[in-house]
Structure 1
Amino acid sequence: MQGECSSKCYNMFIIETVCVAWFSLEFVLRFIQARSKLEFLRGPLNIIDAMAILPYYVSLVVKEEDPDLAHERPGGGKGYLDKLGLVLRILRALRILYVMRLARHSLGLQTLGLTVRRSTREFGLLLLFLCVAVTLFSPLVHLAESELTGAHDFSSIPASYWWAIISMTTVGYGDMVPRSIPGQVVALSSILSGILIMAFPATSIFHMFSRSYQELKMEHDRLFKEECAAAAAAAATGELQEAGGEAGREDSAPPGLGLHMDKDSVHSLESLALLGKGSEAAGNNNHSLPAAAF
């Protein structure tokens, strides 16, 4: 059983090594080709790529100690090694950021990121409304349950914050439930208020999402058209260069070979030459009499 586990871990390590090597090569090539290295390092997606790749190399340098051997270590370095192991485990958990690389090739994820960045004010208002409502309904439910009925679920006002949050966001885990009539009235008020509070900024965020999607789609279409036009222009330029090269070779040929003649034209020229020679010979025979004969 232990051998199977070790073989599986080894296979996973090989797969992870290949993936990290590919991602690292891609990251380095993009860094080399970047015009501004500082702007490249400031990019959010590039930061995510670096944070996703870095834990692998950290885990190679720093080896986590086996927890079974923790009781055998001296007490002096125990706290430091525990903290180091915790940091290493947190860094390993950052490997989930590989999923964010899909944003480079997904229009939906790009739209989501752009919407979140543009709707920071709406999200801020949403959190503000939620905090105000939580601070309002938590003391009320604590008063209705603990002071009036003596229930122990709502032991304090800070403990009631959790109930108010999950109630206003309509999650409702059911771990804290009001039993009394006043507490249930407060719960109903908090749930209705949560629905309204969540609905107020949702319209603005939805319009921002739709607008961002249209902008990104138009930008992708424009880039695609530019790439197609550039490819067509490059192909046309290549054809013109080939035609120019052939014309240059024809112009640089010797004068006697400037015209390309076929066999028929050559035979016709030869026949014309023979006729010309024959006419000259006939003319010479007609005027071959001496001058004394006239």
Structure 2
Amino acid sequence: MRRTLYRILETSAGNRRGVSLVFNIVLITIITLNAIAIILHTVPAINEKYARLFIDFELFSVLFFTVEYVLRVWVCVENDRYHHWFWGRIQYMLSVSALIDLLAIAPFYVTLFATDLAIVRILRLFRIFRLFRVSKYSHAYRMILSVVRDKKEELLLSLAMIVFMLIILSSIMYYVEHPAQPTVFSSIPATMWWAINAMATVGYGDIHPVTALGKTLASVSAVMGIALFALPTSILVSGFNEHIRYRKMPPRCPHCGKEL
């Protein structure tokens, strides 16, 4: 029975057909309805009219996800990675996937014992983690993870370039604008807020240069920011192209290299 439940709960453990397909459809539907409920719950008119429905659906969802989480912990030993009856389950419970499942239900149980309304509101926000559960069944999500994993060195390099440029621009702008605006450009960390806005071309406007040299530097920063932020985008695009091209390639014999 444990093996059968494992094949039903884990889409990667077998074909997505029969009971497994029905369960995955039901699970994704409940997760989607939870996302809609979280959004509509913040609308005063709707919440006032359907408050009882939101509470009942929340109780049903927590019960459903709790039973599912317990079953997943029970059947995870069927996976070779978690074969040990005790340490295998501990290892599974500490995995990213299991932690997301736990965060989807834990806030509800914590709020039962919390008396501070501010803490209760914060914990309720964690219900949004239920949305991340859909990603486990999404081919697009798995492809994104695969691309990021393959291109992590290039992405880290581009991120380092952005950080270095942020520090350099903030330092230069501080020494240029501080004499004219000592309270606005009060320090290099404070100037970093301006640098982020300039490089991201957001133009928030609460901090801006007033000297001619400062305005020139701001213009250069905006142009450079476009180029720098385009770099990780191009890396991801090339990674997606490689994965899509690889998936469309016909299978080849591992010995002779001919198409099968």
User: How would you bin the TM-score normalised by the shorter chain?
Assistant: 0.5 to 0.7
Share of identical aligned residues, percent? Answer: 29
| Greater alpha carbon shift after TM alignment, 26-35 vs 149-158 | 149-158
Give the whole-Å Cα distance in 2 for the aligned partners of 1:188 and 1:5.
Answer: 48
1:27 Cα shift? 2.0
Asked if residue 163 in structure 1 is aligned to residue 194 in structure 2, the reply is yes
Task: Give the SS at the match of 1:155.
Answer: coil
Matched with 2:236 is 205
Asked if residue 105 in structure 1 is aligned to residue 137 in structure 2, the reply is yes
Matched with 1:50 is 102
User: Aligned letter for 1:27?
Assistant: Y
Task: Give the SS at the match of 1:117.
Answer: helix
Task: Give the SS at the match of 1:204.
Answer: helix
Query: What TM-score do the two structures reach when normalised by structure 2?
Result: 0.64
Alignment of 1:114-153 (within 5 A): 114-147=146-179, 149-150=180-181, 152-153=183-184
Contact 1:111–1:213 (Cα < 8 Å) also in 2? no
Relative to structure 1, is the Cα distance of residues 111 and 194 closer, same or farther in structure 2, using a 3 angstrom cutoff?
same
1:157 Cα shift? 1.8
Task: Give the SS at the match of 2:209.
Answer: coil
Contact 1:167–1:194 (Cα < 8 Å) also in 2? yes
1:169 Cα shift? 2.0
Relative to structure 1, is the Cα distance of residues 144 and 42 closer, same or farther in structure 2, using a 3 angstrom cutoff?
same
Relative to structure 1, is the Cα distance of residues 65 and 137 closer, same or farther in structure 2, using a 3 angstrom cutoff?
closer
Matched with 1:179 is 210
Matched with 2:40 is none
Asked if residue 12 in structure 1 is aligned to residue 54 in structure 2, the reply is yes
1:135 Cα shift? 1.2
Task: Give the SS at the match of 1:177.
Answer: coil
Give the whole-Å Cα distance in 2 for the aligned partners of 1:169 and 1:186.
Answer: 14
Matched with 1:256 is none
Report the number of matched residues: 195
Contact 1:145–1:178 (Cα < 8 Å) also in 2? yes
Matched with 1:59 is 111
User: Aligned letter for 1:48?
Assistant: I
1:189 to 220, 223, 242: 220
Give the whole-Å Cα distance in 2 for the aligned partners of 1:201 and 1:5.
Answer: 42
For 1:185-241, what per-residue CA distance to the aligned partner results, in whole angstroms no more than 9, with x for missing partners? Answer: 1111212222222233332222223344566x68xxx9xxxxxxxxxxxxxxxxxxx
In structure 1, stretches of 5+ residues that fail to align are: 67-84, 223-294
Give the whole-Å Cα distance in 2 for the aligned partners of 1:26 and 1:210.
Answer: 36
Contact 2:209–2:218 (Cα < 8 Å) also in 1? yes
Relative to structure 1, is the Cα distance of residues 128 and 5 closer, same or farther in structure 2, using a 3 angstrom cutoff?
closer
Contact 1:125–1:201 (Cα < 8 Å) also in 2? no
Give the whole-Å Cα distance in 2 for the aligned partners of 1:213 and 1:64.
Answer: 51
Task: Give the SS at the match of 2:178.
Answer: helix
Which of 1 and 2 has greater Rg? Answer: 1
Matched with 1:272 is none
Contact 2:199–2:225 (Cα < 8 Å) also in 1? yes
Contact 2:155–2:235 (Cα < 8 Å) also in 1? no
User: Aligned letter for 2:102?
Assistant: A
1:118 Cα shift? 3.4
Task: Select the structure that is richer in helix.
Answer: 1
Give the whole-Å Cα distance in 1 for the aligned partners of 2:47 and 2:126.
Answer: 23
Contact 2:166–2:192 (Cα < 8 Å) also in 1? yes
Query: What TM-score do the two structures reach when normalised by structure 1?
Result: 0.57
